[in-house]
């Protein structure tokens, strides 16, 4: 009882016992008034009975106040314990600092993420958890905020770097709020370790790059026999010219203009074969995802020429309709060529058994964008795939992989553009994609 009463007179402040002066003063006031009134009652009545009643009431009031204070203290302590449990069980690190940057609270998740025990950090400057340059600049940030009120990060969140006890630097999401209690000001930071998120994002980027590359190889695989045929022409010509040149040389006419002419033709054909190989190599190489200003017409012509190798043999008429004076726009050349090769190869396959075999490749200047149109007169999109044309692994072909259109779409979207299909009014399909005249995001190689 006496302990309960006394407990009511003290409170808890920052885990330390502190005297509750307002409460003590209230008690002293009750005591003084009670004793004063009892004394006055005795003076007036000259009877100890009234004085005794007055002192008794005063004593009851004192005990009642003491117990009510105790309840308040107990409730405060329970609330503080609950608050502490919530903070300690939080998944994110929670760190509170005072206006000088000294750590006041460091929860369990913070211990896990940073490798320090709370006791090693509490009372120290929070900059011990930061790598350079934040380590040296942090005190300045706080001072600047307190004097100017200009917040760089307070009240918002941001991705920054933190430093583990073992010196490792790792990425975190940090959000900071300000707390004010009485005259003291402090800040509370909520921290999430984003190392895993970064790793999985990097993995997804690597896998996407791998898939984009595989799909390019697969497109080239489909072209292999046409390419062999295309290469065979200059090689046969080289063999023929070289043979004639050898015969002229055998006749002993080393200075003959004919000999020079045939050797010249040999070089020309070797150049042609070399060009085909170079185009092929640059297309199938694992490209970096760098973007440069490129002329769309040149990209479209090169890619279409690569994709239509052998198409004329199938009786397909390929026509270009290119807009004049298109300014260069930023793009990953190989990736955009990959899209064009995919779309043109699909068109050629759709045309193979058609009566009218026409393929038109067009470029158009649109407002703030440039558009590529690939129009065929083939069999049109099959109704079974029309609704989900860009879904991966969806194909109507015997040997199809069904990834060409979905990869093409992600490449165009990573360039902030749009790819879509529509029926060709004269029969067949039109694929269009638009690229904005501005920049773009990353998409894989």
Please give the residue ranges that form the binding site for ligand ADP (CB under 6 A): 342, 346-347, 350, 376, 378, 380-382, 385, 389, 394-397, 400-405, 429
Give 51 or 350: the residue with its C-beta nearer to ligand ADP: 350
Give 263 or 394: the residue with its C-beta nearer to ligand ADP: 394
Give 287 or 404: the residue with its C-beta nearer to ligand ADP: 404
| CA atoms of 266 and 237, how far apart (whole Å) | 7
Q: Which two tokens stand for residue 258?
A: 């004919």
If one counts every other C-beta atom within 10 angstroms of the C-beta of residue 189, the result is: 21
Provide long-range contacts, Cβ within 8 A and 24+ apart, for 193-197.
Answer: 193/93, 193/113, 194/159, 195/170, 195/171
Distances (CA, A) of 209 to 294, 333, 385: 21, 15, 26
**What DSSP state is assigned to residue 212?**
H
Give 298 or 382: the residue with its C-beta nearer to ligand ADP: 382
Instruction: Output the smallest distance, CB 218 to ligand ADP, in A.
Output: 8
Instruction: Output the smallest distance, CB 240 to ligand ADP, in A.
Output: 38
Give 20 or 222: the residue with its C-beta nearer to ligand ADP: 222
Contact partners, residue 125, CB within 8 Å, separation at least 6: 100, 101, 102, 103, 138, 139
Instruction: Output the smallest distance, CB 306 to ligand ADP, in A.
Output: 16
With tokens 């749009």, the residue in question is: 418
Instruction: Output the smallest distance, CB 406 to ligand ADP, in A.
Output: 6
Instruction: Output the smallest distance, CB 423 to ligand ADP, in A.
Output: 10
Give 245 or 374: the residue with its C-beta nearer to ligand ADP: 374
| CA atoms of 60 and 206, how far apart (whole Å) | 78
Helix H segments across 251-362?
257-284, 296-307, 333-351
Instruction: Indicate the pairing of strand 317-321 with strand 358-366.
Output: parallel
Instruction: Output the smallest distance, CB 347 to ligand ADP, in A.
Output: 4
Instruction: Output the smallest distance, CB 350 to ligand ADP, in A.
Output: 3
List, in sequence order, every residue forming a beta bridge with 13; answer none if it has no partner: 16
Instruction: Output the smallest distance, CB 369 to ligand ADP, in A.
Output: 22
Q: Where are the beta strands (DSSP E) in 305-411?
A: 317-321, 329-331, 358-366, 369-376
Give 255 or 384: the residue with its C-beta nearer to ligand ADP: 384
Are 45 and 53 in contact by the 8 Å Cβ rule? The answer is: no
Give 205 or 432: the residue with its C-beta nearer to ligand ADP: 432
Give 363 or 429: the residue with its C-beta nearer to ligand ADP: 429
Instruction: Output the smallest distance, CB 389 to ligand ADP, in A.
Output: 6
Q: What angle do CA 395, 400, 401 make, to 5 degrees?
A: 85
Are 378 and 405 in contact by the 8 Å Cβ rule? The answer is: no
């Amino acid at each position: 009882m006496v302990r309960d009463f006394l407990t009511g007179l003290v409170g808890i402040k920052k885990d330390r016992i502190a005297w509750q002066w307002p409460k003590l003063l209230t008690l002293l006031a009750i005591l003084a008034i009670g004793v004063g009134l009892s004394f006055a009652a005795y003076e007036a009545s000259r009877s100890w009975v009234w004085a005794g009643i007055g002192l008794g009431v005063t004593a009851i009031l004192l005990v009642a106040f003491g117990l009510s204070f105790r309840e308040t203290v107990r409730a405060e302590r329970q609330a503080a314990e609950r608050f502490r449990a919530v903070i300690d069980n939080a998944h994110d690190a929670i760190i509170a600092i005072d206006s000088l940057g000294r750590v006041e609270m460091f929860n369990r998740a913070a211990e896990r993420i940073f490798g320090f025990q709370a006791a090693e950090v509490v009372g120290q400057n929070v900059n011990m958890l930061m790598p350079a340059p934040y380590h040296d600049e942090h005190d300045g940030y706080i001072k600047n905020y307190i004097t100017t009120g200009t917040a760089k990060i307070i009240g918002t969140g941001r991705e920054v770097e933190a430093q583990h006890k073992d010196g490792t630097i790792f990425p975190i999401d940090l959000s900071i709020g300000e707390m004010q209690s009485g005259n003291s000001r402090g800040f509370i930071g909520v921290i999430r370790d984003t190392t895993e998120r970064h790793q999985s994002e990097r993995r997804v980027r690597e896998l996407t790059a791998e898939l984009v590359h595989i799909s390019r190889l697969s497109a080239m695989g489909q072209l292999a026999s046409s390419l062999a045929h295309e290469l065979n022409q200059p090689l046969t010509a080289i063999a023929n010219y070289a043979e004639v040149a050898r015969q002229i040389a055998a006749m002993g006419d080393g200075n003959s203009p004919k000999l020079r002419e045939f050797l010249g033709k040999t070089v020309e054909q070797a150049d042609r074969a070399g060009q085909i190989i170079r185009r092929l190599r640059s297309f199938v190489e694992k490209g970096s995802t760098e973007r440069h200003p490129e002329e769309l017409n040149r990209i479209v012509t090169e890619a279409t020429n690569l994709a239509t190798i052998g198409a004329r043999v199938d009786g397909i008429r390929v026509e270009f309709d290119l807009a004049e004076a298109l300014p260069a726009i930023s793009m990953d050349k190989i990736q955009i060529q990959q899209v064009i090769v995919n779309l043109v190869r699909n068109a050629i396959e759709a045309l193979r058994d058609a009566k009218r075999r026409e393929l038109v490749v067009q470029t158009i200047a649109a407002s703030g964008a440039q558009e590529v149109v690939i129009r065929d007169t083939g069999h049109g999109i099959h109704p079974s795939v029309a609704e989900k044309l860009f879904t991966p692994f969806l194909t109507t072909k015997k040997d199809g992989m069904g990834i060409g259109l979905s990869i093409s779409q992600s490449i165009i979207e990573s360039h902030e553009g749009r790819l879509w299909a529509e029926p060709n009014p004269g029969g067949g399909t039109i694929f269009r994609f638009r690229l904005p005249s501005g920049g773009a995001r990353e998409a894989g190689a």
